[in-house]
Amino acid sequence: MEEVRATAMTYYANMSIGQKQAVQNFYKSLDANGDGKVTSQEYLDALRKAGLNQTSLPSNLFQVLDENNDGTLDLEECVTFYYMITGQRLVSCDGCGSYMLGLHFLCVECYRVSKEKTFDLCGSCYRNKNFNHAHSYFLDNFALLRTQLPAVLIRTYVAYIREKLIHGGAVNKFFTAPHNVARPFR
C-alpha cells in the first residue's frame, strides 16, 4: 500500500493548481459535514450517491485507504483513493473480493481479449482454487508484463527491417541519405 500511496502523492505533487483543486473538491464532496475527516459512513454515502454500490468496489477498500487506522480518511488518504479511481489502480480479487496490491494472478486468456476487463485473483484464491472461471491459464502480473516484451521487440524489429528495406535499398542504390540507416529505431 505504501507504494501506491507514494505514487499517488508523487502525482499529486506534480499536478497543476487546477488538478489539485479537482482532488480537493473530490475530498470535500466526500466530507459531507465539512469537518475535514471522511468517516466510513460518509464514504459509503458518497459511493451510493455516485452510483457505485459496495459490491463493485473491493470490500476492504476503506480499511486499506485508512493507513493510520483512525477510522477516517484525511486528505492524503483521499489523494490515494482519487488516484486509485482515476488511475485504474483498483484491482479486486474475483474470488474473494478483497483489494489487491502488488503481486496477483490474471487469466491470460481474458487479458488477451481485453486489458480492461481482466479476471484477477489473489494468491490465496488462486492457490486454493477459490474461483469459478472458464479458463485455467493464469500468470502473475509481473510475469504477464514480461510476456508483453517480446511482442514489443518483434514490432520494433519489423519496423527496423521495413525501414532497412525502404531506405537501406535507396542507400545501396544511390549512396545517399545515410541518416536513415543511422537512426533505424526512431
Asked if 26 and 82 count as a contact pair (C-beta separation under 8 A), the reply is: yes
Cβ-proximal residues to 112 (8 Å cutoff; 6+ apart), any chain: none
Residue 122 within binding range of Zn ion, rule CB under 5 A: yes
Q: How many CB atoms lie within 10 A of CB 37?
A: 16
Stretches 36-44, 117-125, 142-150, 172-180: which one binds Zn ion (CB under 5 A)? 117-125
Residue 95 within binding range of Zn ion, rule CB under 5 A: yes
Residue 106 within binding range of Zn ion, rule CB under 5 A: no
Asked if 57 and 92 count as a contact pair (C-beta separation under 8 A), the reply is: yes
The least CB distance from residue 105 to Zn ion, in Å, is 9
Size of the site for Zn ion (CB under 5 A): 10
Single out the residue of 43, 82, 105, 119 in contact with Zn ion (rule: CB under 5 A). 119
Name 99's bridge partners: 92
Residue 125 within binding range of Zn ion, rule CB under 5 A: yes
Residue whose CB is less far from Zn ion, 29 or 98:
98
Query: 106 — alpha (psi -120 to 50), left (phi > 0) or beta?
Result: beta
List of residues contacting Zn ion (CB under 5 A): 93, 95-96, 107, 109-110, 119, 122, 125, 135
